[in-house]
Amino acid sequence: MAGASRGLGLLVAKELLSRDFDVAVCARDAAELARAREMLSPFGTVHDYVCDVAEADQVEALVRDVERDLGPVDVLITVAGIIQVGSVEGVTVEQFRDAVTTMIMGPVHTALAVLPGMRERGRGRIGTIASVGGLVSVPHLLPYCTAKFGAVGFSEGLAASLSGTGVTATSIDPGLMRTGSHERAYFTGESQNEYAWFAPSASLPVLSMNADRAARLIVDGVLAGRPIVLLGWLPKVAQRVRGIAPGLTIRALGVVNRVLPSASPQQTDLVVGATAKQRLGSRVVNALSTLGSKAAQRNNER
C-alpha cells in the first residue's frame, strides 16, 4: 500500500488486513506513518516503511525491504496523492510538478518495481487510484486532474500490456469521498473561498461517497483483476456525458468555473485546509462539512 498513512489509503490497508493479508504500508511522513501503524495494528500484521514514491530509488529500496520482510508482493495498490484547489491564475509550475511526480510517476515507479517478480511468478494484482478527475478535467483542480489523466492512461495501458500474463492492472476512478481529505488539501488563490465550496462537496451525502464502502469496492475490483473500477454515480455519469458530448461537457464546466472564486497571479501561496477552515470561520460551511470532519478524525487526516 503506497500512500497509506491517512485517508483512503489507510482505509484500503485496513480492508486488506480484514481479508487476512500481511500489509506493508508506506508514506513519506514518518510521524504520520507511525500513527497509521498504531491504528492498523489491531487488525492484523502491518509493516511500515518511509518512502517517497516520487523517487524511483526509494521505491526500489522499498520493494527490496518488503520482499525481505514479508516475501513476494502479491498485490500493489498505489494511493499516494496531493490535492491542490484553486483557479488557474493562482497555480504555479511547481504545483503541477508536485502533482505529476506524485500521482503519475508514483504509480509508474511502484508498478515497475514489483512487475518483474509478478511476471516471473505469473500472478499479481496492481491497482492505481485515479479519479473522476482523470476522466473529466474540472476547473480549480487543474494540477490534480492533469496528473490523474496520466494515472488513468498509465493504468489502462498497463492493463492491456499485461494481457495473458496472469498479472492484472486496475484503474480505480472514484468521485468525491468522505475521507476528511479537505482538511489536508492545499488551497491557493482565494484560499478561504476555495475551501468554502470544496469542503462541503467532499462531505455531503449524494455528492460524496462513504469511504469505507469505497475501500471495500476498491479491494474487490483489484483482486478480481478488473481493468476499470468506477466508484459512485459521478464518474459513471461523467464518463458517459463526456463520451457523448465532449465539447458540451467542457463548455458546461466553463460555466461552473465562472461562479467559482477567481484569483490574481500574485495569490499563489498554498494554504492547508485546516488553516483555511480556521481563517474562514464559517458556521455554515462547518455544518455542511460535519461528516467530512468526523472522517478526518477517524482517518488520520489531522
List C-alpha distances in Å: 213 to 18, 24, 36, 93.
14, 21, 19, 35
**Average pLDDT estimate for 20-30:** 96
- DSSP strands (E only) in 2-83: 23-27, 46-50, 75-78
What's the pLDDT tens digit per position in 228-260? 999 999 999 999 999 999 999 999 999 999 999
Q: Which of 49, 144, 186, 195 is catalytic?
A: 144
User: What is the pTM (predicted TM-score) of this model?
Assistant: 0.94
Is residue 157 in a domain? yes
What's the pLDDT tens digit per position in 137-186? 999 999 999 999 999 999 999 999 999 999 999 999 999 999 999 999 99
**Average pLDDT estimate for 42-64:** 96
Number of domains in the chain: 1
Is residue 2 in a domain? no
Is residue 146 in a domain? yes
Flag whether pLDDT at 40 surpasses 90.
yes
Is residue 145 in a domain? yes
What's the pLDDT tens digit per position in 69-83? 999 999 999 999 999
**Average pLDDT estimate for 95-110:** 97
Is residue 137 in a domain? yes
Give residue 251's domain range: 7-298
Could you give phi then psi for residue 29, rounded to 5 degrees? -100, 110
State yes or no: is 195 an active-site residue: no
CATH number, position 141: 3.40.50.720
Is residue 1 in a domain? no
What's the pLDDT tens digit per position in 173-222? 999 999 999 999 999 999 999 999 999 999 999 999 999 999 999 999 99
Q: What is the distance between the alpha carbons of residues 40 and 229, in angstroms, rounded to a whole number?
A: 25
Q: What is the distance between the alpha carbons of residues 123 and 271, in angstroms, rounded to a whole number?
A: 43
Is residue 127 in a domain? yes
Flag whether pLDDT at 265 surpasses 90.
no
Is residue 231 in a domain? yes
